[in-house]
Amino acid sequence: MNKHTDKSIQIPELIMGVKNPAALSVCKDHADAVYFSLDRFSLRSRANDITPENLDSFVEQVHGYGLRANLAVNSVIYPDDIPSVNEVIEAASSAGVDAIIAWDPAVITRAVNSGLRVHISTQANVSNADTANFYKSIGASRVVLSRELSLEQIKDIRQYTDMELEVFVHGAMCQAISGRCYLSAYLLGKSGNCGECSQPCRWEWTLHADDGREVDLKGKYLLSARDLCMIEHVPELINAGVDAFKVEGRLRNPSYTATISRCYREALDNCRDGSYTLERARELKEQMALEYNRGFSTGFYFGVPGPEGLAYEHNMNVSPVKRHAVGVVTNYYSKQNAAAVRLLEQGLAVGDNIAIEGHTTYLEQEVTSLIVDGEAAKEAGRGQEVGLGVDEVVRENDRVYKVEHVEQR
């Protein structure tokens, strides 16, 4: 059950991935819960803004918005990690975390013994009802199902277990089963199972025949999967009996988090009140396509994906909206509603659309005023420090990005 529905209607809760308070703030009106990680033991090691030291305040903020807080502790756990795992579970219990997302029994048993709810991570590759019931027998309350399941298989699992079922509905897909990839570790010594994936599946590759000739496959990104997008199939997922929709994307920018959460919230609410239409779902999909994505597919929900599930012709982001790093905020002047910005990567001009992002900051605005050497200016170049009029409070070390709409060819 979620905060956006009444008790007579079983609409799945919407769970968004967030990396910091800024991402949390932009989805607070749309999500029912968020999942996040600390600076250790997750599959997103770069999502390290939240630590045991600030976990209490972060969870308090989540609860203050009326959301639930689910902490991912789902990396491989080695013997030397156990003392730190104990500290993380103790901190989670003290902070009032609502659930631990885990698959390693070392984490599961410690969370259960601490009285915490446990959601079994998709890393466990739960693909049948017997496995779901096994995890229930050791204290778990929910399983995040394998992303390789079809809709019909999920319906079958629902018939034979009363465990809560959570499924991914949107975001990046991995080439490996349930994300348990070894390619990054093999090629670069950076283990995806310890949160350090370098995404070699997104690289440009070539295929060669036995005689050495290159095979032309009309593209070079031969291992790059399209992003999952199920906005056009929300009613089918609800009818399958799932309890929660999960959106991948903890490391994506807050604009992505805001748009995706808003669109799925609307789709779920429309299903609740009977106003959901495929036409509107397609309009929402077009809005989501303006955020970072690798092209969309329905993953494994309607069968094993073929070439249509791969983004072999594109390099990473296919959205027409591009973000380019510009510089960093060095100071904020509240009386002047202005920020000092060092232009590290490129220049700015009046009329540019920008985003300013930090640990607790996110805003989008147009550049309306620039000051260079004490004088009003129409533009400023790379390497300069400028005064920038801002619409909201920003903070030292916030990053500034130029946002441009690029015509697709």
From the list 145, 138, 105, 141, the residue with the least C-alpha distance to 123 is 145
Residues 351 and 232 in one domain: no
Residue 33 has pLDDT above 50, yes or no: yes
pLDDT digits (tens, 9 = 90+) for 194-210: 666 777 778 888 888 89
How does DSSP assign 214-279, residue by residue? Answer: EE--S-S-TT-BPEEE-GGGHHHHHHTT-SEEEE--TTS-HHHHHHHHHHHHHHHHHHHHT---HH
Mean per-residue pLDDT, 278-296? 97
Residues 218 and 336 in one domain: no
Q: How many domains does the chain have?
A: 2
Residue 217 has pLDDT above 60, yes or no: yes
Residue 320 has pLDDT above 70, yes or no: yes
The neighbouring-strand residues paired with 172 are none
321: exposed, middle or buried (Cβ count in 10 Å: 0-12, 13-18, 19+): middle
Tokens of 333: 């002047």
Residue 1 belongs to some domain of the structure: no
Mean per-residue pLDDT, 77-90? 96
State residue 222 phi and psi, 5-degree precision.
-75, -15
Which of 201-210, 232-241, 246-255, 325-334 bottoms out in mean pLDDT, i.e. has the lowest? 201-210
Q: In the prediction, which pLDDT does 4 show?
A: 56
Residues 207 and 89 in one domain: yes
44 SS3 class? coil
Residues 328 and 297 in one domain: no
Residues 262 and 126 in one domain: yes
Q: Which of 309, 338, 358 is the last residue of a domain?
A: 309
> For 383, which DSSP code?
T
Residues 305 and 395 in one domain: no
Whole-structure pTM value: 0.92
Q: In the prediction, which pLDDT does 6 show?
A: 44
Residue 242 belongs to some domain of the structure: yes
Residue 315 belongs to some domain of the structure: no
- The gap between the terminal CA atoms of the chain, to the nearest Å, is 44
The whole domain housing 268 covers: 13-309
Residues 193 and 164 in one domain: yes
Work out the pLDDT band at 409, boundaries 50, 70, 90. Answer: low
Residues 235 and 338 in one domain: no
Q: In the prediction, which pLDDT does 408 show?
A: 63
Q: Which of 281, 309, 337 is the last residue of a domain?
A: 309
Mean per-residue pLDDT, 242-269? 96
Residues 366 and 225 in one domain: no
Mean per-residue pLDDT, 276-286? 98
Residues 156 and 229 in one domain: yes
Residues 83 and 203 in one domain: yes
Residue 407 has pLDDT above 80, yes or no: no
